[in-house]
Amino acid sequence: YLNPESDPLEVDTKFWELRDSIVQCELLVLRLLQFRVSFNHPHKYLLHYLVSIKNWMNRHIWERNPISTVSWALLRDSYLGDICLRFEAQHIAVAVLYFALQSYGVEVPGNENAEKEWWKVRVPEFTIN
């Protein structure tokens, strides 16, 4: 019971109305999600990207700037809209990490002399637009 002190809900018209309203809400959510209820989450990609970027970075720069914290916050915020449904998980993970780095003006070491940008190494088809 959620409310052990209260009496159990009687199976009457109120019960069936509550049940039907819950079913209608569930169907609405399914329609909004376009019935895509399982998808590849970007969390595992972001974790991998953060570890690799951290290993490239100067330790003092990494400790002074909350790149990891901001990246995770941006990723959580991306679930407030339909971004997780419209874009691939790898793209979302790279985008939030890129934005976190840009927000603090942090450059990835060696990126300016590299043949490919750091995000192209992670996700070759990704573009910054």
* Alpha carbon distances (Å) from 92 to 24, 27, 100: 31, 27, 12
34 has pLDDT over 60? yes
Q: Range of 97's domain? A: 43-122
1 has pLDDT over 70? no
Digit-coded pLDDT (tens) for 50-64: 999 999 888 999 999
Note whether residue 2 is domain-resident: no
Note whether residue 6 is domain-resident: no
Note whether residue 47 is domain-resident: yes
Assigned token pair, 46: 């972001």
Note whether residue 24 is domain-resident: no
CA distance 32 to 5: 37
> Is the backbone of residue 34 left (phi > 0), alpha (psi -120 to 50) or beta?
left
Note whether residue 64 is domain-resident: yes
Note whether residue 26 is domain-resident: no
Note whether residue 70 is domain-resident: yes
Note whether residue 21 is domain-resident: no
Digit-coded pLDDT (tens) for 98-119: 999 999 999 888 777 777 788 7
